[in-house]
């Protein structure tokens, strides 16, 4: 059973701090990794995708991938109250059309 694990949180950080969200996965054949943000009552929206080991930066967001440790993370710099949401990690493999989603980490940014 392929699994993606996330701490459910809530992760509470003060405004302006760095929020660090973590995700581990069980399938070593995984080749694509995604972070989605989901506001309460809304559908998930794609924030970042990463395919290679290392860091990928997009504005205040940095995705980090370590395939050897089967670990992917999302850093949010200068966190804003508007970043308060649930963050979903998703993992895919080239052999499948499907993504496996984690259950999400709830982030709360305190003003």
Binding site for other proteins (CB under 8 A): 32, 34, 36, 41-46, 49, 88, 90, 92, 94, 96-99, 101-104
Residue 44 neighbours by CB distance under 10 Å: 18
Tokens for 49?
A: 């995708």
d(CA 98, CA 22): 21
* Least Å from the CB of residue 99 to other proteins: 6
Please identify, using beta-carbon distances, which residue of 98 and 110 lies nearer to other proteins. 98
* Least Å from the CB of residue 18 to other proteins: 25
Please identify, using beta-carbon distances, which residue of 43 and 111 lies nearer to other proteins. 43
* Least Å from the CB of residue 59 to other proteins: 18
d(CA 78, CA 69): 27
d(CA 80, CA 17): 8
- Could you give the residue ranges of the DSSP H alpha helices within 1-111? none
Please identify, using beta-carbon distances, which residue of 94 and 111 lies nearer to other proteins. 94
């Amino acid at each position: 059973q392929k699994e993606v694990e996330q701490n459910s949180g809530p992760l509470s950080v003060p405004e302006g701090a760095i929020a660090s969200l973590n995700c581990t996965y069980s399938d070593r054949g995984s080749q694509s990794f995604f972070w989605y943000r989901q506001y309460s009552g809304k559908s998930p929206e794609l924030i970042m995708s990463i395919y290679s080991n290392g860091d990928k930066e997009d504005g205040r967001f940095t995705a980090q991938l370590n395939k050897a440790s089967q670990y992917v993370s999302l850093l949010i710099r200068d966190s804003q109250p508007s970043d308060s949401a649930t963050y979903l990690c998703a993992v895919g493999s080239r052999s499948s059309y499907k993504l496996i989603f984690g259950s999400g980490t709830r982030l709360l940014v305190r003003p």
